[in-house]
A and B are shown apart, each in its own frame.
Chain A
Amino acid sequence: MKIVSAEALEALRQEAVKALSIREESNRSDSAAASGLEKGTPHMQILCCGGTGCKASESAKIVQEFHNALEAHGIADRVEVVVPGCFGFCEKGPIVKIIPDNTFYTSVRPSDVGEIVTSHIIGGEKVERLLYQDPGTGAHISDSKHMNFYRKQMRVALRNCGFINPEDIREYIARDGYKALADSLKRDSLAVLADIKASGLRGRGGAGFPTGVKWEIARKFDAPDKYVVCNADEGDPGAFMDRSIMEGDPNSVIEAMMICGYCINAHHGLIYIRAEYPLAVERLKIAIAQAREYGLLGENILGSGFDFDIQIRYGAGAFVCGEETALIHSMEGKRGEPTLKPPFPAEAGYFGRPTNVNNVETLANVPVILTKGPQWFASIGTEKSKGTKVFALAGKINNVGLIEVPMGTTLREIIYDIGGGVKNGKKFKAVQTGGPSGGCLTEKHLDIPIDYESLAAAGSMMGSGGMIVMDEDDCMVSVAKFFLEFTVGESCGKCTPCRIGNKRMLEILDRITEGRGKEEDIEKLETLAKVIKDTALCGLGQTSPNPVLSTLANFREEYEEHVRDHVCRAHKCKALLTYSIDPVLCKGCSACARGCPAEAIVGEVRKPFVINPEKCIRCGMCLSRCKFGAINVI
């Protein structure tokens, strides 16, 4: 069924809104009371998270069990099972949300389904044990609105994730989807572009270049074939917002690409997506097919005379392809090696044609900026960084998940209020932002309002929004080494500083963590870091020393301890550890000796055992097997 005009789209919206009304209403309601068929609730919906995280924990099976149970109880006509995208609260997946009472069940097992259906859906009694338990108070919280995790969030880019069925374009349309496009097509494209500029939106993929300016530059280069590219090669290990958006709200990306195409006078769209994201690929394919079916992609869109279509291109496992010139080469079927800018892709990109590259999260903001107005968007955030930012909160934190907050929110709010603080009551040590290009921030940075400038000033960067929390058990030299290992593994090998320089830095860090470091090694690290930053060819290379530089700046004493005293205070660096058995605490149970892969532990049963340091490979097996806390590690 083709939609031929903006009016027809509006008519479809009016129709589609009905199906979503029960969810929209519950979104507005603040009641904690449980609903249930026997309590008189006429219709209910069960939202089972269909994101990658929850799917990995059998959410598909849960969906099937729900269908079976509803069928068995003969209530399938009154209760609908919906599979939306990620709710963001991945720590406690799989998530099941009940509509209209907003009940938020966590860590649901397929075996829990029967109980949810009989006691809650039918009986109107919430299943207490599956409710989220506040780590602070221990109290069960029955709905998402009252969870700290959600309270401080402001979902703009993620507005539809966890709410609509991403495989049904009508649900997207119901939430003002394609309205921005329809409106734009009636306006002068320059005016639309001016709105994007006025909103202050900046690229969410890394450096934060103003999106409107980027479009303006791309618009200037005239050519018959121009391209709009969506960079969905989310390579930062530990960031998954782009994946979530594509899985949960693929149409927002499609709509934004079309608006961009309209503004810069391009008619071809390409989405470059990681092959590691099969679900996102699937959802995008469905969304593109549906958009074509509805006439929202193709020729003469909404009767405006504007043509646009989108194709998907796949990455194949190369982080550097997140860099736009490398990405373009990869799309051309070549090795993903960056080339010098200028010329920028806006001038000569995909097969030499003018090309505009934006990342997924950036694009997801575009339609909502136009429907709500640039002033609305610009009113959120800080002076230079407008709107919200999605962060993938992970690591040693209670609430791992995907969160979206206004720019300017502090790290403290994110880590302690939304994230629920450090896991297992450990002490906060650092938070790494910006992935392999970013840096580690510490206690003293917790209260700075986060935006592009403040993060850069603190020696890190926004990057794509990975945010990894570390506690006292994390060795900062090892963390720097981890990131450098990543960069060395992902370097394209083209330019000298990145190819050899990073390798040498990694070798130095290897030496330091193995207790073979020398005093001058720290100096060498600094020299190399500076030169690599100054001379590397692409953004990946230029930022690759950041993890080292920031840990050197904030945790220099840890480096010095490793080098001078051969001590790793976090007990992470194996070569610097000595394992021994406390003869007083040892009960002589032999569990450690039996588990030791190196046969380094000897002793007689019921007498204290001893570790032979020569044979010990410092694997930590004895530590995990000892029930009496008799293993000492220094």
Chain B
Amino acid sequence: MSEIKVSCEALRKVEEICQQFNNDPGELISILHACQNQLGYLPEAVQRVIARQLGIPASKVYGVVTFYSFFSMVPKGKYPVSVCLGTACYVRGSDKVLEEFKRVLGIEVGETTPDGKFSLDCLRCVGACGLAPVATIGEKVYGRLNPSDIKKIVAEFED
């Protein structure tokens, strides 16, 4: 992985976030959430700053970041696509929806399109099982999806 440069400003913000949580190692996950909300992802430099602030080894931070699927060390696309693979969505064909997203976007799960526009992920149940199968793009939830809809939905974001 090539090293991602993070601005000093961003790193100062990370320090601030840690301080808001009293540099408490017990708040590591909350801090990671806050930093990812702020920066969109958690590159190595950010994790090092967090480790230093909290007085814990960077390996611990890294171990936590890589354990939870919510955290990402690479920038997500401008429009992050998440396909629900919960059981309700699965039995209503979300696997086909996912395949179609992969095909239309030309990327695999966990990847971002070269133009940085879309990234593709899976998630387990947003609790909108009545609308199964469901996918989210950014904050927006798309329900009752059919593989044939995908092209059109993606096109909505092509500006």
B72-130 interface with A by 8 A CB criterion: 84-92, 96, 99, 103, 123-130
Let me know if A238 and B126 touch, CB within 8 A. no
In-complex Cβ contact of B127 among A92, A277, A335, A435 (8 A) = A277
Q: How far is the CB of A155 from chain B (nearest CB, A)?
A: 18
Let me know if B128 and A90 touch, CB within 8 A. yes
CB of B33 within 8 Å of the partner chain: yes
Let me know if B87 and A395 touch, CB within 8 A. yes
Q: How far is the CB of B65 from chain A (nearest CB, A)?
A: 9
Interface centre among A315, A330, A392, A394 (most CB of B within 10 A): A394
Let me know if B124 and A56 touch, CB within 8 A. no
Bound-state CA distance A312–B64 (Å) is 19
CB of A474 within 8 Å of the partner chain: yes
In-complex Cβ contact of A333 among B25, B85, B99, B132 (8 A) = B25
Q: How far is the CB of A59 from chain B (nearest CB, A)?
A: 11
Bound-state CA distance A461–B135 (Å) is 29
Bound-state CA distance A620–B96 (Å) is 10
In-complex Cβ contact of A313 among B29, B90, B99, B129 (8 A) = B29
CB of A207 within 8 Å of the partner chain: no
CB of A559 within 8 Å of the partner chain: no
Let me know if B134 and A56 touch, CB within 8 A. yes
What are the residues of chain A within 8 A of B157 when measuring CB–CB?
none
Let me know if A333 and B26 touch, CB within 8 A. yes
Let me know if B128 and A333 touch, CB within 8 A. no
Contact with A along B20-43 (1 / 0, CB 8 A): 000011111110110000000000
CB of A318 within 8 Å of the partner chain: yes
What are the residues of chain A within 8 A of B67 when measuring CB–CB?
318, 335-336, 492
Let me know if B87 and A237 touch, CB within 8 A. yes
Let me know if A486 and B124 touch, CB within 8 A. yes
What are the residues of chain B within 8 A of A469 when measuring CB–CB?
91
Bound-state CA distance A486–B148 (Å) is 26
Let me know if B28 and A237 touch, CB within 8 A. no
CB of A7 within 8 Å of the partner chain: no
What are the residues of chain B within 8 A of A313 when measuring CB–CB?
29-30
Q: How far is the CB of A310 from chain B (nearest CB, A)?
A: 15
Let me know if B88 and A395 touch, CB within 8 A. yes
In-complex Cβ contact of A276 among B64, B85, B89, B123 (8 A) = B123
Q: How far is the CB of B143 from chain A (nearest CB, A)?
A: 6
CB of A609 within 8 Å of the partner chain: no
Contact with B along A298-325 (1 / 0, CB 8 A): 0000000000000001111111000000
Bound-state CA distance A144–B123 (Å) is 33
Write the chain A residue with the least CB distance to B139: A278
Let me know if A317 and B128 touch, CB within 8 A. no
Let me know if A468 and B64 touch, CB within 8 A. no
Bound-state CA distance A317–B148 (Å) is 29
Bound-state CA distance A400–B130 (Å) is 5
CB of A53 within 8 Å of the partner chain: yes
Q: How many residues of A contact B (CB 8 A)?
A: 60
Let me know if B87 and A474 touch, CB within 8 A. no
Known contacts: A238-B125, A275-B33, A597-B103. The answer to whether A482 contacts B87 by CB under 8 A is: yes
What are the residues of chain A within 8 A of B126 when measuring CB–CB?
52, 56, 276
What are the residues of chain B within 8 A of A239 when measuring CB–CB?
125
Contact with B along A322-344 (1 / 0, CB 8 A): 00000000111111100000000
B1-58 interface with A by 8 A CB criterion: 24-30, 32-33
Write the chain A residue with the least CB distance to B26: A333
Let me know if B125 and A240 touch, CB within 8 A. yes
Let me know if B129 and A56 touch, CB within 8 A. no
CB of A351 within 8 Å of the partner chain: yes
Write the chain A residue with the least CB distance to B82: A276
What are the residues of chain B within 8 A of A394 when measuring CB–CB?
87-88, 91, 129-130, 132
Write the chain A residue with the least CB distance to B28: A333
Q: How far is the CB of A35 from chain B (nearest CB, A)?
A: 28
Q: How far is the CB of B121 from chain A (nearest CB, A)?
A: 10
Bound-state CA distance A469–B90 (Å) is 11
A200-250 interface with B by 8 A CB criterion: 234-240, 243-244
What are the residues of chain B within 8 A of A91 when measuring CB–CB?
130
Let me know if A57 and B131 touch, CB within 8 A. yes
What are the residues of chain B within 8 A of A354 when measuring CB–CB?
none
Bound-state CA distance A612–B148 (Å) is 23
Let me know if B127 and A314 touch, CB within 8 A. no
Write the chain A residue with the least CB distance to B31: A333
CB of A499 within 8 Å of the partner chain: no
CB of A164 within 8 Å of the partner chain: no
Interface centre among B63, B87, B91, B92 (most CB of A within 10 A): B87
Let me know if A90 and B130 touch, CB within 8 A. yes
What are the residues of chain A within 8 A of B127 when measuring CB–CB?
52-53, 234, 240, 243-244, 276-277
CB of A432 within 8 Å of the partner chain: yes
Interface centre among B26, B89, B96, B125 (most CB of A within 10 A): B125
Given pairs A238-B87, A317-B70, A351-B26, 6 additional interface contacts (CB within 8 A): A90-B129, A243-B127, A244-B127, A318-B69, A466-B87, A469-B91
9 shortest interchain CB distances as A-B pairs: A90-B130, A333-B28, A237-B86, A56-B141, A394-B88, A316-B68, A240-B127, A238-B87, A317-B70
Interface residues of A, Cβ cutoff 8 Å to B? 52-53, 55-57, 89-93, 234-240, 243-244, 275-277, 313-319, 330-336, 351, 392, 394-396, 400-401, 432, 435, 466, 468-470, 474, 479, 482-483, 486, 490, 492, 597, 619-620, 624
Interface residues of B, Cβ cutoff 8 Å to A? 24-30, 32-33, 60, 63-64, 67-71, 84-92, 96, 99, 103, 123-132, 134, 141-143, 147-148
23 A-B pairs in the complex with CB atoms less than 8 angstroms apart: A53-B127, A53-B131, A90-B130, A93-B130, A237-B124, A238-B87, A239-B125, A240-B129, A276-B125, A313-B30, A314-B29, A315-B70, A316-B68, A317-B70, A330-B29, A331-B29, A333-B64, A334-B28, A334-B64, A396-B91, A396-B92, A474-B91, A620-B96
